[in-house]
Amino acid sequence: MLLQPGYAAAKIGEGRSVSIEEVFKPSSRLPARQHLAIYQQGYTARLRDCLAKQFTALEYALSPDLFQAFADEYLRKYPSESYSLANLGDRFMTYLEESRPDRDELIKEDWPDFMIELARFEWLINHLFNADVEHEDPMATMTTPLERLSLVPGIRLLATKFPVRWFYQAVAKGEQPHLPEAQPSYCAILRRDYKLTFFDLHPEQYLLLQALADGQGVPQALRWLSEKYGYDAKGLAEIWPVWYAQWQRAGFFSGSGSVGTTDAEQV
């Protein structure tokens, strides 16, 4: 009812309808319907502001006016069902997919793909920041045996068609970036002590970390990378200690010997 300005009645227990006048009491200055309209406007504005804060880079990319139009329609189509506004944007990517102008066309434009990837990226980092990913397992050291290495729960791996990580951080720095051209991009996002850090990855690094996230051990992941994608096995064996030293210092690994809950996600 709150997001339907023309709504005239509400449903309560067992489907019984009650009028607005039974729910909102008039005052000496305003009738019940005007009280409802004021409440509706304030509630919608609060939800719209919350979405804008969850998708700041997307709001910039679309422009505030167009973002507001999308947000209002999204809130009507997918009203909040959670007590927590942290989950308000959970279905925003679905809505953007459904509302793209070339949805039924065989040949699709690039810009909706970028907007959807950007929305999914912002949704992911919001959820990672608020997720319960703290762990008590000891962090890996340079002497931790390979068979005991596992990715920490607070890491996410991303492969995107567009450089959304670059675009997001440019907006966050107050820059005014142009919409980027398609360019495959890979990154890891790590949360430690409630701080998010972004790491750009080469394709082979992304694939290797994804294999580790899926539960493979380091030797098996290196062999899989060579056999499936044709990377030079000797070269991988030589570069692995260099990569591991960088990632170990960053805090990618625990030495618990158990597979973490890390999601390797295709955005």
Instruction: Give me 145's structure tokens.
Output: 């045996």
Closest CA to 154 of 132, 173, 183, 169: 132
Residue 8 has pLDDT above 90, yes or no: no
Residue bearing the bigger pLDDT, 37 or 210: 210
State the pLDDT at residue 193. 84
State the pLDDT at residue 12. 45
Those residues with Cβ within 8 angstroms of residue 132's Cβ, 6 or more apart along the chain or in another chain: none
Q: Percent of the chain scored above 70 by pLDDT? A: 80
Residue bearing the bigger pLDDT, 132 or 256: 132
State the pLDDT at residue 32. 53
User: Which amino acid type is present at position 133?
Assistant: V
Mean pLDDT, residues 13-40: 57
DSSP states of the chain = -TT-TT--EEEEGGGEEEEHHHHS---SSS-HHHHHHHHHHHHHHHHHHHHHHHTHHHHHHH-HHHHHHHHHHHHHHS---SS-GGGTTTTHHHHHHHH-TTTT-SS--HHHHHHHHHHHHHHHHHHHHHS-----SPBP-TTS-GGG-EE-TTEEEEEESS-HHHHHHHHHTT--PPPPPP--EEEEEEEETTEEEEEE--HHHHHHHHHHHTT--HHHHHHHHHHHH---HHHHHHHHHHHHHHHHHHT-EE-SSS----EEEE-
Residue 264: band (very low, low, confident or very high) from pLDDT cuts 50, 70, 90: very low
Query: What rounded mean pLDDT belongs to the chain?
Result: 84
Residue 84: band (very low, low, confident or very high) from pLDDT cuts 50, 70, 90: confident
Residue bearing the bigger pLDDT, 212 or 105: 212
Mean pLDDT, residues 81-86: 76
Rounded to two decimals, what is the model's pTM? 0.79
What's the Cα-to-Cα distance from 82 to each of 7, 58, 90, 234, rounded to whole Å?
22, 23, 10, 52
Residue bearing the bigger pLDDT, 106 or 24: 106
Predicted confidence (pLDDT) per residue in 132-189, tens digit:
887 777 899 999 999 889 999 999 999 999 999 999 999 999 999 999 999 999 999 9
Residue 58 has pLDDT above 60, yes or no: yes
State the pLDDT at residue 167. 98
Residue 22 has pLDDT above 80, yes or no: no
Mean pLDDT, residues 3-27: 53
Cβ distance 259 to 150 under 8 Å? Answer: yes
Residue 266: band (very low, low, confident or very high) from pLDDT cuts 50, 70, 90: very low
Predicted confidence (pLDDT) per residue in 195-248, tens digit:
999 999 999 999 999 999 999 999 999 999 999 999 999 999 999 999 999 999
